[in-house]
Amino acid sequence: MANGPPGAPVVHGFPHLDTVRSAITALYRRLSADGVHAYATSLPPADAAFADQDDLHLGAQRVARSLVQHLHLPEARMIVGFRAMEHAASVELTAGPEYFIELNDRFRTHRRDIGAALAHEVTHVLLHRLGLEFPGTRANEILTDTTTAYLGAGWLLLDAFREDATSRQKLGYLTPEEFGYVLAKRAFAFGEDPSPWFTSPQAYTAYTKGRERALHDLRRPPLTAAGWAGRRRYAKDRRYAQDHPGTSPDPNVPYAFETGDRGLRVSFPCPTCHQRIRVPVRGRFTARCGLCRTALECDT
- The verdict on residue 275 lying in a domain is yes
| Mean pLDDT to the nearest integer, 97-118 | 93
Let me know whether 100 and 235 are in one domain. Answer: no
Residue 171 has pLDDT above 60, yes or no: yes
- pLDDT, residue 183, reads 99
Let me know whether 63 and 195 are in one domain. Answer: yes
Let me know whether 59 and 108 are in one domain. Answer: yes
- pLDDT, residue 164, reads 78
Domain boundary residue, one of 183, 217, 251: 217
- pLDDT, residue 204, reads 98
Rounded Cα distance between 232 and 222, Å, is 11
Three-state SS annotation for 103-136: EEHHHHCCHHHHHHHHHHHHHHHHHHHHCCCCCC
Let me know whether 155 and 256 are in one domain. Answer: no
- The verdict on residue 222 lying in a domain is no
Domain boundary residue, one of 182, 217, 252: 217
Let me know whether 182 and 261 are in one domain. Answer: no
Rounded Cα distance between 106 and 109, Å, is 6
Let me know whether 43 and 184 are in one domain. Answer: yes
Q: For 71-88, what is each residue's pLDDT tens digit?
A: 999 878 898 999 999 889
Number of domains comprising the chain? 2
- The verdict on residue 199 lying in a domain is yes
Find the helix packing angle between 56-70 and 114-130, rounded to 10°. Answer: 40
Let me know whether 123 and 239 are in one domain. Answer: no
Let me know whether 63 and 156 are in one domain. Answer: yes
Rounded Cα distance between 99 and 78, Å, is 5
User: Per 3-state DSSP, what percentage of the chain is helix, strand, and coil (rounded to 5)?
Assistant: 45, 15, 40
State the pTM of this model.
0.94
Domain that holds residue 132: 17-217
Residue 137 has pLDDT above 80, yes or no: yes
Rounded Cα distance between 200 and 229, Å, is 36
| Mean pLDDT to the nearest integer, 49-63 | 91
- The verdict on residue 45 lying in a domain is yes
Let me know whether 155 and 89 are in one domain. Answer: yes
Domain boundary residue, one of 170, 186, 217: 217
Let me know whether 55 and 105 are in one domain. Answer: yes
Rounded Cα distance between 119 and 145, Å, is 9
Which residues are CB-contacts of 13 (< 8 A; sequence separation ≥ 6)?
A: 175, 177
- pLDDT, residue 102, reads 96
Let me know whether 203 and 251 are in one domain. Answer: no
| % of the chain at pLDDT higher than 70 | 98
